[in-house]
């Protein structure tokens, strides 16, 4: 791998000179990082992954092998994108216009997927833009997300539906006798459910 400004880039990777890559980040073999990308510190972009023009990644993000992150996606700090995940950017995709001419960049308006702090998207899941994946949420492998996911939600299926809650450690939460209270079995952290949303209990 080549190294510059404390960034490691595999020789077979294609990183645009106009991309901004944070210190400590690694970009592996055959990955492509397009113009205008802003990537934070200590990110990992796996083999064959694609990061589209102008995509924003916070610090400590992981984009695993062959994931496709299309512009204008925005990933906050600590986001995990699993292998072969797709974040789309076209609500009504067509190769051609109604008159049969090939579509160009001027014929459609890209829309993005927003992934908030600490959220994880499992292998081969697809997020159909425009959607927001809330902080610390988990999207199960193979899910198809077509609507916003609340923070701390665990969603699965096609289309994805909430099947539980997860804490900041990523472990499914356990309901107490009072079903408005959920507890992380790993850390003991407590969360309060209200009107279909979850928030962490403060001391």
% pLDDT > 90, the chain: 89
* pLDDT on residue 3: 46
* pLDDT on residue 178: 74
Mean pLDDT of 16-21: 96
94 contacts 112 by C-beta, under 8 angstroms: no
Output the average pLDDT for the chain. 94
CA 178 to chain centre: 33
Confidence bin at 105 (pLDDT 50/70/90): confident
* pLDDT on residue 203: 66
Task: Evaluate if residue 183 carries a pLDDT over 80.
Answer: yes
Mean pLDDT of 22-44: 97
Backbone CA torsion sign across 66, 35, 117, 69:
negative
159 contacts 170 by C-beta, under 8 angstroms: no
CATH number for the region 2-168 comes to 2.160.10.10
Residues facing 174 on adjacent strands: 183
Strand 181-183 and strand 190-194: the pairing is: antiparallel
- Domain locations in the chain as residue ranges: 2-168
Task: Evaluate if residue 117 carries a pLDDT over 50.
Answer: yes
27 contacts 9 by C-beta, under 8 angstroms: yes
> What would the two tokens of residue 66 be?
């062959």
Confidence bin at 8 (pLDDT 50/70/90): very high
* pLDDT on residue 5: 58
Q: Give the DSSP H or E segment for 174.
A: strand 174-175
CA-CA distance, 139 to 18, in Å (whole number)? 32
Q: What does the pLDDT look like over 120-155, one tens digit per residue?
A: 999 999 999 999 999 999 999 999 999 999 999 999
* pLDDT on residue 80: 98
């Amino acid at each position: 791998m080549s190294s510059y400004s404390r960034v490691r880039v595999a020789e077979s990777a294609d990183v645009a000179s106009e991309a901004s890559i944070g210190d400590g980040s690694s970009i592996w073999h055959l990955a492509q990082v397009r113009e205008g990308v802003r990537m934070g510190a200590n990110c990992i972009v796996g083999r064959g992954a694609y990061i589209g023009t102008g995509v924003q990644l916070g610090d400590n993000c992981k984009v695993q092998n062959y994931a496709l992150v299309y512009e204008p996606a925005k990933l906050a700090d600590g986001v995990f994108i699993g292998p072969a995940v797709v974040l789309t950017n076209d609500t009504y995709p067509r190769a051609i216009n109604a008159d049969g001419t090939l579509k160009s960049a001027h014929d459609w308006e890209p829309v993005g997927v927003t992934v908030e702090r600490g959220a994880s998207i499992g292998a081969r899941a697809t997020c159909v833009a425009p959607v927001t994946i809330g902080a610390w949420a988990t999207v199960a492998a193979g899910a198809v997300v077509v609507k916003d996911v609340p923070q701390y939600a665990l969603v699965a299926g096609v289309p994805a539906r909430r099947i539980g809650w997860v804490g900041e450690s990523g472990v499914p939460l356990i309901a107490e006798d009072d079903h408005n209270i959920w507890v992380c079995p790993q850390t003991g952290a407590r969360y309060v459910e209200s009107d279909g949303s979850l928030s962490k209990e403060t001391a």
